[in-house]
C-alpha cells in the first residue's frame, strides 16, 4: 500500500496553551519580526510630519518668524534711509527706469540739498564741544542763581533764614526720587524690552506681509475683490520676474508710479502699467494665467494688450463672472425698422469687453473669419450678411460648402445660392468666384466714373474648396494653394482688385493651416477675425503677426464656453488707440430669427427686379431652345462643351456664359446638369422634356 500524506490545518490557538507545549514549539509565523516595531515607528513619524495640521503649524511658525526678520530689515532700511541719501538715490533710479526724466532731476536736486545740509551739520559738530561746555556752564550758573534767588524770596517771606536752601534741597530730593524710580523700572525694562522690540518688529513685518508667499494664509475669500493699485502692484510683483520684483521693492511709493489711474471700462476696469527698465512687455504677456490668479481672476477674465507707449502693457480686468453673462439679442432682431447702408453704415455685430456696441464697417473690405468647428463662425459671418441684406442695392452670390441649411434663408435673396459639401459643389462655387472675376474685369474696363452696385461673394467653409482634389478636363485642380488652383487664383484676383469696383469676397474657414488657408489668401483680407483656435501659430495665421504681438490671443479663448467671441483686426471697427485688435462678443441670431430678418430684407426689395440679362443685340434668344439645339442628337454633352457650342452659336449672347449661367437657366426645369463618370453633363432627353412641359408664355426668355 502506497504511503499517503495528509495535510491538516492547525486549529486556532486558545487563550490557554495545553500542557506540555513550550513557547519554542510555536510555529515561526507567529513570532513578531524584530523590525516591525521600527516600521511602525517610522510610519507614525512620517504620518505626523506630513499631516495637514503639522504643515499648517510649520507654515505658521515660518511665517511669523519671517515677519520678525522682514520687520527688522524694513526698520533698518528706514533708519538707514533716514540718515543717508539712499532714499533719494533709490527714487532717482526708479524715475529713470520709468523714463520720467523731470522727476529724476527733481530727486537728484533734493538729494543734493540733503547732502549739503548733512555736511553743514557735520561741520557744526566740530565746534559743538566748546558750545556745549559754555552752554552747560551758563545753564549751571543760571540754575544755581535762580534757586538762590528763589530761596532768598522764601526766606524773606517766611522770615526764616533756613528757607534760603529749601529750593536747592527740593531739587536734590527730586533728583534722588528720579534715580530711585529709574532703578526700579530698569530691571523690568531690561527684561521685557527685547520682547517689546520683537513684537514691534513683528507688527511691521506682518503689516508689510514680509514673508514668503507659500507661508501666507490662503486668500480664497478675496476672489472677485475690487481691483486697487495695491492689488495690481502686488500681482505684478509676484509674477516671478526678478527685475520687476526688485524695481517695485526699490520704489519709494511701492510701485504706484508704474500705474495709470484705474478706469472703469464696461464690465471691468482698465489700467496701463509702465514697466521698469529691464522688463519686456512679452514677459508679462507670457504670464497671463499667473497674473490673473494673482488678481484673483480666471485667465479668460484678464486681457493684456500693448498700447503705443514704450514699455507699457494695458490690463483689462473683468468683474468676476461678468464674461459668462449673455449680452442680449441683436438689434437686427429687436428693431424691425432697422436698415443698412453699405457705404456709410456700420453693422451691429456685438459688444466689446467694455460693454460698448461693436459696430463694423463693411465698405470695400474683404472679410475672413476663422475658428474651430462649432464655435459660431457661420453665425458671425451670417449676421454681417443679414445686416447688409437690408441695403436693397447689395447683391449676394453665396456658396455654402457645408450644406446643412445655415444659409437657406437667403433663398430668393441671393442671386446665386450653392449649398452642399461635395466636389461638384466645390466646382460650382469655384466657377461662381471665377464669374466674380469676370464681373470685376468688366467693371474695371468700364468708362471712368462709372458707379457699380456692391457685389458680395460669400464662401462659407472655404477650407473645403482649398482641399478639393477635383480637376477639370485640362487637368487643372480646383483646390490647392498653388498658381494652378482655379479657386485660389480666382480669390487672389478678387483680393487684388475687386474692392475698387465693389466686388467683395467674404470667406469663413475652420481650423486654419497653410494647406486650407494659404498665406496670400489670408493676408488679402482687410477684416480678419478669429474665434477660438488651438495654437498661437493658428492665431498668427488668422490675424497676422502684428495683432498677436500686440496682445491678440484667440488661442487663449475657452473652447465651448466662449462661443461667438471674436478677436478682430480691422480698420473698419473702432479699436482703442495703440491696440492692434479688439475682442468682440457677437450677438447670436438663430436660424428662425435669421429667417425673419431675411424676410424683412426681401420685403425691402419688393418691386426691385435684379435681372441678369444676356446681351444679344437686337435678337431675343431662347436659351433653353438654344441649349437643346447645340446638344443635337447626342444623349448627353459635357457642360463645358455646351458652353462652347452656345458661344459658337451666338458670341454676343453666350460668349460670357459660365457654368453658373447655364445652371441658372436649367434650374427648376428638370434638366439640371448632373455628374456622369465624374464629369458634369446635360442630358438631351431632359432638355427636350423641359421644352415640352414649359408654359406657352415662357417659350422665350431674355432673363436667366
Strand, coil or helix: what is 504?
A: strand
Distance CA 313, CA 583 (A): 16
* Grid cell at residue 523: 493676408
Helix, strand, coil: what percent of the chain each, to 5? 50, 15, 35
Does the annotation place 375 within a ligand binding site?
A: yes
Does the annotation place 402 within a ligand binding site?
A: no
Structure-derived torsion over alpha carbons of residues 148, 154, 159, 164, reported in degrees to the nearest 10: -30
Does the annotation place 602 within a ligand binding site?
A: no
**CB contact set of 80 (below 8 Å; sequence gap of 6+):** 86
* Torsions phi, psi for 109 (to 5 deg): -65, -40
Nearest of 702, 686, 684 to residue 694 by alpha carbon: 686
Does the annotation place 670 within a ligand binding site?
A: no
Number of other residues whose CB lies within 10 A of the CB of residue 510: 22
Does the annotation place 559 within a ligand binding site?
A: no
* Torsions phi, psi for 550 (to 5 deg): -85, 0
- Max CA pair span of the chain: 161
Does the annotation place 377 within a ligand binding site?
A: yes
Burial of 527 (0-12, 13-18, 19+ CB in 10 A): buried
Q: How far is CA 700 from the centre of its chain?
A: 60
Distance CA 440, CA 445 (A): 9
* Torsions phi, psi for 395 (to 5 deg): -110, 140
Distance CA 369, CA 380 (A): 8
Crossing angle of helices 166-207/101-158, nearest 10°? 150
Does the annotation place 376 within a ligand binding site?
A: yes
Nearest of 142, 149, 141 to residue 166 by alpha carbon: 149
**CB contact set of 294 (below 8 Å; sequence gap of 6+):** 234, 235, 236, 238, 239
Strand, coil or helix: what is 279?
A: coil
* Torsions phi, psi for 679 (to 5 deg): -120, 145
**CB contact set of 168 (below 8 Å; sequence gap of 6+):** 147, 148, 151
Structure-derived torsion over alpha carbons of residues 514, 520, 521, 523, reported in degrees to the nearest 10: 100
* Grid cell at residue 404: 446643412
Distance CA 95, CA 99 (A): 6
Which residues are part of a known binding site for ATP? 371-378
Which residues are part of a known binding site? 371-378
Amino acid at each position: 500500500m502506497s504511503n499517503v500524506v495528509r495535510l491538516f490545518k492547525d486549529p486556532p490557538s486558545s487563550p490557554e496553551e495545553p500542557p506540555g507545549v513550550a513557547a519554542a514549539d510555536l510555529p515561526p509565523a507567529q513570532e513578531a519580526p524584530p523590525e516591525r516595531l521600527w516600521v511602525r515607528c517610522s510610519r507614525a513619524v512620517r504620518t505626523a510630519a506630513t499631516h495637514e495640521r503639522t504643515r499648517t503649524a510649520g507654515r505658521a511658525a515660518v511665517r511669523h518668524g519671517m515677519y520678525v526678520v522682514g520687520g527688522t530689515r524694513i526698520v533698518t532700511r528706514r533708519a538707514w534711509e533716514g540718515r543717508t541719501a539712499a532714499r533719494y538715490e533709490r527714487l532717482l533710479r526708479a524715475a529713470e527706469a520709468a523714463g520720467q526724466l523731470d522727476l529724476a532731476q527733481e530727486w537728484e536736486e533734493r538729494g543734493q540739498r540733503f547732502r549739503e545740509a548733512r555736511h553743514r551739520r557735520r561741520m557744526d559738530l566740530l565746534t559743538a564741544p566748546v558750545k556745549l561746555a559754555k552752554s552747560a556752564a551758563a545753564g549751571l550758573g543760571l540754575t544755581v542763581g535762580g534757586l538762590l534767588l528763589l530761596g532768598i524770596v522764601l526766606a524773606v517771606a517766611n522770615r526764616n533764614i533756613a528757607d534760603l536752601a529749601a529750593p536747592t534741597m527740593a531739587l536734590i530730593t527730586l533728583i534722588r526720587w528720579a534715580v530711585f524710580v529709574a532703578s526700579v523700572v530698569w530691571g523690568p525694562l531690561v527684561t521685557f524690552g527685547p520682547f517689546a522690540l520683537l513684537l514691534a518688529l513683528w507688527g511691521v513685518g506682518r503689516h508689510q506681509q514680509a514673508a514668503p508667499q507659500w507661508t501666507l494664509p490662503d486668500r480664497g475669500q478675496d476672489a472677485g475683490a475690487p481691483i486697487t493699485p495695491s492689488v495690481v502692484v502686488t500681482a505684478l510683483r509676484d509674477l516671478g520676474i526678478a527685475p520687476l520684483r526688485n524695481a517695485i521693492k526699490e520704489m519709494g511709493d511701492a510701485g504706484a508710479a508704474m500705474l495709470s489711474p484705474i478706469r472703469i471700462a464696461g464690465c471691468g476696469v482698465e489700467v496701463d502699467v509702465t514697466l521698469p527698465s529691464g522688463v519686456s512687455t512679452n514677459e508679462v504677456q507670457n504670464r497671463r494665467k499667473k497674473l490673473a490668479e494673482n488678481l484673483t481672476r480666471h485667465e479668460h477674465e484678464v486681457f493684456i494688450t500693448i498700447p503705443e507707449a514704450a514699455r507699457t502693457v494695458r490690463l483689462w480686468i473683468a468683474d468676476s463672472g461678468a464674461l459668462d453673462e449673455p449680452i442680449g439679442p441683436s438689434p437686427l432682431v429687436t428693431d424691425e425698422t432697422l436698415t443698412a447702408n453699405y457705404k456709410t453704415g456700420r453693422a451691429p455685430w456685438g459688444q466689446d469687453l467694455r460693454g460698448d456696441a461693436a459696430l463694423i464697417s463693411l465698405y470695400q473690405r474683404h472679410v475672413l473669419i476663422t475658428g474651430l468647428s462649432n464655435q459660431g463662425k457661420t453665425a458671425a459671418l451670417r449676421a454681417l450678411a443679414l445686416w447688409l441684406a437690408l441695403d436693397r442695392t447689395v447683391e449676394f452670390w453665396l456658396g455654402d460648402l457645408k450644406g446643412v441649411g445655415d444659409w437657406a434663408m437667403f433663398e430668393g435673396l441671393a442671386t446665386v445660392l450653392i449649398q452642399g459639401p461635395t466636389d461638384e459643389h466645390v466646382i460650382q462655387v469655384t466657377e461662381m468666384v471665377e464669374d466674380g472675376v469676370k464681373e470685376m474685369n468688366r467693371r474695371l474696363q468700364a468708362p471712368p466714373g462709372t458707379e457699380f452696385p456692391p457685389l458680395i461673394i460669400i464662401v462659407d467653409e472655404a477650407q473645403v474648396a482649398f482641399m478639393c482634389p477635383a480637376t477639370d478636363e485640362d487637368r487643372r485642380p480646383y483646390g490647392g494653394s498653388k498658381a494652378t488652383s482655379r479657386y485660389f487664383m480666382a480669390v487672389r484676383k478678387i483680393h487684388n482688385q475687386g474692392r475698387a469696383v465693389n466686388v467683395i469676397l467674404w470667406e469663413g474657414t475652420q481650423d486654419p493651416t497653410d494647406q486650407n488657408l494659404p498665406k496670400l489668401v489670408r493676408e488679402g483680407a482687410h477684416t480678419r477675425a478669429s474665434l477660438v483656435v488651438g495654437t498661437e501659430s493658428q492665431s498668427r495665421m488668422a490675424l497676422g503677426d502684428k495683432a498677436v504681438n500686440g496682445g491678440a490671443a484667440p488661442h487663449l479663448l475657452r473652447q465651448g464656453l466662449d462661443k461667438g467671441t471674436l478677436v478682430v483686426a480691422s480698420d473698419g471697427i473702432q479699436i482703442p488707440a495703440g491696440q492692434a485688435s479688439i475682442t468682440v462678443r457677437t450677438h447670436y441670431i438663430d436660424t428662425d430669427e435669421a429667417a425673419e430678418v431675411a424676410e424683412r430684407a426681401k420685403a425691402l426689395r419688393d418691386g426691385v427686379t435684379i435681372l441678369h440679362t444676356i446681351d444679344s443685340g437686337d435678337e431675343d434668344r431662347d436659351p433653353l431652345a438654344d441649349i437643346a439645339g447645340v446638344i443635337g442628337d447626342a444623349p448627353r454633352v459635357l457642360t463645358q462643351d455646351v458652353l462652347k457650342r452656345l458661344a459658337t452659336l451666338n458670341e454676343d449672347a453666350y460668349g460670357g456664359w459660365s457654368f453658373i449661367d447655364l445652371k441658372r437657366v436649367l434650374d427648376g426645369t428638370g434638366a439640371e446638369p448632373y455628374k456622369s463618370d465624374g464629369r458634369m453633363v446635360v442630358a438631351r432627353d431632359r432638355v427636350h422634356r423641359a421644352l415640352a412641359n414649359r408654359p406657352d408664355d415662357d417659350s422665350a426668355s431674355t432673363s436667366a
